[in-house]
Amino acid sequence: MKIETLPGDPGRRKKRMRVGRGESSGKGKTSGRGNKGAQARTGAKSEAYDEGGQMPLHRRLPKRGFRPLSHVTYSVVNVGDLERFEPHTAVDPAALRAARLVRRQTVRVKILAGGALSKPLTVRAHAFSAEARAKIAQAGGACELAQ
């Protein structure tokens, strides 16, 4: 038995429609393109957001928002979350990532004043709120800016 002698699978491959081969073929004359106009011509393409005469969606919706190039994104950690660290330890962004208080590697860390702190800690972060600095100092700790 040879592969070329095997019976085929009837209807498996559909023949392509040959357009413009006479009226009786069903795709003669205008070849299924309708009558006249840009879409009847060869090479005609419409623009990506073209909606005919209707006002396109990107012009119907209002313009909104702007983020300046100088914008800095911080991951925030509350002072109350630092309670899990041992007293007199240095808490830096790497330690916060290890404790899964900060998830992303590249982002800067800011300490905010939510919660209470009862242990003296040396906290290194990229930014502090004024109230967070006061709470850390009141607990006997220190605030240092990280690079």
Query: What's the pLDDT at 85?
Result: 92
Sign of CA dihedral 22, 23, 25, 26: positive
Report if residue 4 sits inside a domain.
no
Residue 101: CATH number of its domain: 3.100.10.10
Report if residue 101 sits inside a domain.
yes
Counting the structural domains of the chain, the total is: 1
Report if residue 11 sits inside a domain.
no
Render each residue's pLDDT in the chain as its tens digit; 147 residues.
Answer: 888 888 878 777 788 899 999 999 989 999 988 898 888 888 888 788 888 899 999 999 999 989 899 988 999 999 999 999 999 999 999 999 999 999 888 889 999 999 999 999 999 999 999 999 999 999 999 999 987
Supply the range of the domain harboring residue 90: 74-145
Q: How buried is residue 127: exposed, middle or buried, by Cβ count under 10 Å (0-12/13-18/19+)? A: middle
